[in-house]
């Protein structure tokens, strides 16, 4: 299970409206849509591995995973792909040639900054607010793309991980650029004073009671 990050957005009603799909839900596809085509019934790992070999995708930064990936690639036999997987492999290459990404999840990880769409969401257009959760990280890439569509508007973001005091902070975007930023350092690099500050900040963003987190 991922760590869930709560994100709070403050912006004009026009910006909040632009975050919503036709069903009135916050949807990253409305802000930063995948420019390729992957209308498949799931993503085949074998097809993805074949495509990664062809495009020369780098191995993992983790030594153990890199060794495993290198071994799998050296033993890969494209003739063993099923017809469905082969067609998906070709589709991934078409996507990569068109937009630089193999499929929508590849795009989400690299552009959105999180592999899934917004969860546990709410918004108030009139008040200019939106709140939603994302897996592992704040979807900065999505918000940058949204900001570029409203170059004269400021978008204020606060985010906080369920790992209270880590992976949290605030920033303001204008025309796709952060004009203010206050992000928590890694937990191991924080002083006791900093930890107290960022824990209080995270509890405020997530709406949690510090007493529930006491040892």
The 10 Å CB-count burial string (b at 16+, else e) for 129-149 is: bbbbbbebbbbbbbbbbbbee
pLDDT over threshold 70, residue 77: yes
Confidence (pLDDT) at 28: 96
Average pLDDT of the residues in 177-202: 96
Question: Which residue in 204, 159, 203 sits closest to 182, CA to CA?
Answer: 159
Residue 95, φ and ψ in degrees, nearest 5: -60, -45
Confidence (pLDDT) at 125: 97
The answer to whether 151 and 174 are in contact (CB under 8 A) is: yes
Residue 182, φ and ψ in degrees, nearest 5: -145, 95
Exposed/middle/buried for 172, CB within 10 Å: 0-12, 13-18, 19+? Answer: middle
The answer to whether 4 and 114 are in contact (CB under 8 A) is: no
Average pLDDT of the residues in 73-95: 90
What structural domains and CATH numbers belong to the chain? 4-33+117-213 (3.30.70.1270), 45-102 (no CATH)
Summary mean pLDDT of the chain: 92
Confidence (pLDDT) at 174: 98
Rg, C-alpha atoms of the chain: 20
Question: Which residue in 9, 4, 17, 28 sits closest to 117, CA to CA?
Answer: 28
Q: What does the block give as tokens for 54?
A: 């062809």
Range in 65-79, 83-97, 98-112, 122-136 the model is least confident about: 65-79
Residue appearing with tokens 């930063």: 32
Q: What is the pLDDT of residues 47-73, one digit of tens each?
A: 989 999 888 888 888 888 888 888 888
Give percent of the chain above pLDDT 90.
72
pTM score: 0.84
The answer to whether 196 and 203 are in contact (CB under 8 A) is: no
The answer to whether 114 and 107 are in contact (CB under 8 A) is: no
- 38 Cβ contact partners less than 8 Å away, ≥ 6 residues apart: 91, 92, 95, 103, 104
154 forms bridges with which residues in the sheet? 174
């Amino acid at each position: 299970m991922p760590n869930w990050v709560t994100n709070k957005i403050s912006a004009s009603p026009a910006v909040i409206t632009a975050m919503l799909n036709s069903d009135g839900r916050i949807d990253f596809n409305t802000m930063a849509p995948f420019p390729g085509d992957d209308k498949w019934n799931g993503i085949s790992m074998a097809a993805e591995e074949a495509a990664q070999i062809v495009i020369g995708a780098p191995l993992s930064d983790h030594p153990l995973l890199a060794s495993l990936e290198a071994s799998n690639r050296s033993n890969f036999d494209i003739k063993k792909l099923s017809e469905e997987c082969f067609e998906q492999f070709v589709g991934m290459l078409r996507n990569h040639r068109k937009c630089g990404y193999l499929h929508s999840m590849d795009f989400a990880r690299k552009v959105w900054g999180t592999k899934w769409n917004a969860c546990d969401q709410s918004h108030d257009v009139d008040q200019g607010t939106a709140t939603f959760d994302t897996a592992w990280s704040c979807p900065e890439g999505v918000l940058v793309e949204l900001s570029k569509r409203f170059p004269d508007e400021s978008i204020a973001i606060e985010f906080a991980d369920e790992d209270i005091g880590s992976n949290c902070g605030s920033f303001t975007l204008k025309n796709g650029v952060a004009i203010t930023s206050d992000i928590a350092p890694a937990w191991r690099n924080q002083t006791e004073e900093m930890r107290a500050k960022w824990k209080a900040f995270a509890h405020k963003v997530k709406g949690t009671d510090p007493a529930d987190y006491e040892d």
